[in-house]
Structure 1
Amino acid sequence: MWSLYEAAQLRVHGEDILEEAHEFTYNRLKSITNQLSPFLANQINQSLRQPLHKTILRMRTRSYMSFYKEDRSYDKVDLLSFAKLDFNMLQKWYQNEIGCNTKWWKESDFATKVPYARDRAVEIFIWAYAMTSESKYSTARRMTAKACTIISLIDDTYDVYGTIQELELFTEAMQRWDISCIASLPYCYKVVFNALLEYLVEMESLTESGKSSFVLQHVKQAFSRLAQGYFIEAKWCHEGHIPTYDEYMVNAAITGAYPTILAVFISWVKEFTTKELLDWVSDVPAILEATCIIARILNDLGTHKV
C-alpha cells in the first residue's frame, strides 16, 4: 500500500484510477500508523508529509540512515558504515561550497552597501543543491548558488527599495548592459549591477572559448527578461493594479527566476552546455513553463503573508 501511495505521486491529469489510489492509500496509511511498529510508522509518516518523489533525495538519505538502524535486516558490518562515510564526505564538499559563497558575500560587504537586501547565501544554496548533489558538479552548484544570490539582490531592489523612476533606469541598464544608465542613481544600484557584471566576467573566463559567446548571450538574455518581469510587477504595485490570474501568471513564469537559474546551471554543467539546449530553455517550452508556474505558486503560498 505504501508503494502504491508513492507510485500515485507520478499521476497526471486524467488518470482517475491513480487519483483514487492516492486518496485511498493516503487515508488508509494515516489511519493505521498507530498500529505499526515505530520503525515503519515513522517512515510512513514522513512519506505522508513529503512523498519520495517530492523531496530532495540526498536529504532523505540522512533520515533513512536513522530509520535503517531500527530495521531487523540491518547489516551491522558494512552497509550503514559506507552510507555514513559517503554522506559525510559529500557534506564536506557542500560546506566548502557554502563557505566560498559566504566569504564572497562578506568580502563584497553587501550588508553595508545594499542594506535592504536579505542575507540568503546559505538558504539559497539549497536551490542549487536540489538541482544536483553529485560531487562532480561542485563548481556548477557553487556558481549557480552565487547567481541565485545575485538574483535575490536584484529581486529585493525591485521589491523593497527602488522608486518606479529609479527602477525604470535600472531595467534599462539591464537591457543595454550599460552601467552609465544608472550613473545618477544611489550607490547600491551600482553595487548590485557590478556584482552581476563581475559574475558574467567570471563565467566567461571559466567557459570554453568555443562556447563563451553563446553562453553569455543566453545568460544575459535571461537576466534581461527577469529584470523586465520584475519591473512589470513594480509598475503594477506603483499603479495599484491588481492583475488577473492569467495576466499574473504570464509574467510570474519569468519572475519565478527558474528560466534564469536553469540557463545559468546549464552553462556550468559543461557536458550539457550546447547552443541547442540553451535555445530550448530560452524559448520556455511547455514543460519549463509548467515547472515555473508550480514554483511560482509554491513560492507565493509560502510567502504571501510577508
Structure 2
Amino acid sequence: MSRLDARWFIDIYERKVDMNPILLEIAKLDFNRVQSIHQEDLKYASRWWRSTRFSEKLSFARDRWMECFFWTMGMGFEPELSYFRRTATKIGVLITAIDDLYDVYGTLDELELFTEAVERWNVDALDQLPDYMKICFLGLHNSVNEMAFELLRDKGINVIQYLKKTWVDLCKSYILEARWYHTGYKPTLEEYLDNAWISIGGPLLLIHVYASETSPMIQDMESLEKHIDIIRCSSIIARLADDLGTSTV
C-alpha cells in the first residue's frame, strides 16, 4: 500500500546527506495527519463491528473486520475517502459473514429461506428464519438501509432499490452455488463464470462505492445497468485472481 511505501521512503530520505529538512518535515506532517484520519476510521469500524456482535452470535463466520479495513486502505488511502473506507469495511464484513453462512453453516433449506428473506427485504421475514439467521439478516438489512439513509440525507438521492438489488443478486449467486454443491452438480466453465462474477462481490462493492463517492443522479444509477460489462469484466478479473490464490493446481 502506498502509505506504507511513503513511510519507508521517509526513513530512507532522512538518512541522505543532501536531504532537505523542510521537505522531510512536510512529509512527516502529512504522513501523521493522514494516519490520524485512518486511525479514526479504524475506531469507527471497530465500534461498528462490536455493535453487531457477529463474533458472538455468528461464531461460524470469519472475524475479518480488520482485514476488510486494510483492503479499503489499499483501494483508497486518501484522507478525503474516509466515508468510503468506513462503508467498504462494513460491506466486506457483511459479505464475509453471509458467504460463510452459505458455504459452511446453513442447510440448503435454511439458505433458501434466507435468500427469500433478502429478496423480500422486509423485517416480517424474520419469523421464518432460524435464530442465528435473524441476526445476520437484520444486521444486513439495518446496515444497508442506514447507508441508503445517509446518501439520501447528504446527497438527496434515494438509492435503496439499487443497493438492495446488489445484495439480492449476491445471495442468489450464493444459493446457486449451494445448490450445485448439495446436488453434486459440476457446472461448465461458462456456467461458473456467469455466476462467479457476481458471487465475488465485485458488482455489489462497485455500485455501493459509486453511489457513496460521487454525486449521482437516478439516471446515473440506471446507466450502470446499461453498461454492466464494465463491472462484469473487472469482477471476472477479481474472481479469477481470487481463484488462483486458493488453487491447489
Answer whether TM exceeds 0.5 for this pair: yes
* 2:170–2:199 contact (8 Å) kept in structure 1: yes
Q: Does 1:145 align with 2:106?
A: no
What is the distance in 1 between the residues matched to 2:60 and 2:123?
21
Partner of 2:232: 289
Q: Which has the higher contact order (CA 8 A, sep 6+)?
A: 2
Give the residue type in structure 2 aligned to 1:285.
I
Partner of 1:248: 192
Give the residue type in structure 2 aligned to 1:89.
R
Give the residue type in structure 2 aligned to 1:228.
K
The correspondence for 1:121, drawn from 57, 62, 65, is: 65
Deviations 1:78-137 (CA, angstroms, capped at 9, x unpaired): 222222221121111112111111122123221111110111111001232233222222
* 1:259–1:292 contact (8 Å) kept in structure 2: yes
Q: Which moved more, 1:90-99 or 1:252-261?
A: 90-99
What is the distance in 1 between the residues matched to 2:74 and 2:227?
21
What is the distance in 1 between the residues matched to 2:40 and 2:229?
36
Rate the CA distance shift 1:81–1:255 in 2: closer, same or farther, 3 A: same
Partner of 1:61: 6
* 1:204–1:216 contact (8 Å) kept in structure 2: yes
The correspondence for 1:225, drawn from 151, 159, 169, is: 169
Deviations 1:125-178 (CA, angstroms, capped at 9, x unpaired): 123223322222212221221122112111111111111111111111111113
Q: Which moved more, 1:224-233 or 1:282-291?
A: 282-291
Which structure is larger by alpha-carbon Rg, 1 or 2? 1
The correspondence for 2:101, drawn from 145, 157, 172, is: 157
TM-score normalized by the length of structure 1: 0.74
- Percent of pairs with identical residues: 34
Q: Which moved more, 1:56-65 or 1:293-302?
A: 56-65
* 1:179–1:190 contact (8 Å) kept in structure 2: no
What is the distance in 2 between the residues matched to 1:282 and 1:95?
36
Partner of 1:24: none
Aligned with 2:194: secondary structure? Answer: helix
- Size of the aligned set, in residue pairs, is 247
The correspondence for 1:166, drawn from 96, 99, 110, is: 110
Rate the CA distance shift 1:284–1:68 in 2: closer, same or farther, 3 A: farther
Partner of 1:272: 215
What is the distance in 2 between the residues matched to 1:233 and 1:246?
14
What is the distance in 2 between the residues matched to 1:132 and 1:280?
24
What is the distance in 2 between the residues matched to 1:284 and 1:303?
30
Give the residue type in structure 2 aligned to 1:274.
M
TM-score normalized by the length of structure 2: 0.89
Q: Alpha-carbon deviation of 1:182?
A: 4.6
Deviations 1:225-258 (CA, angstroms, capped at 9, x unpaired): 0110111111111111222222111111101101
Q: Does 1:176 align with 2:176?
A: no
Q: Alpha-carbon deviation of 1:284?
A: 5.6
Give the residue type in structure 1 aligned to 2:68.
I
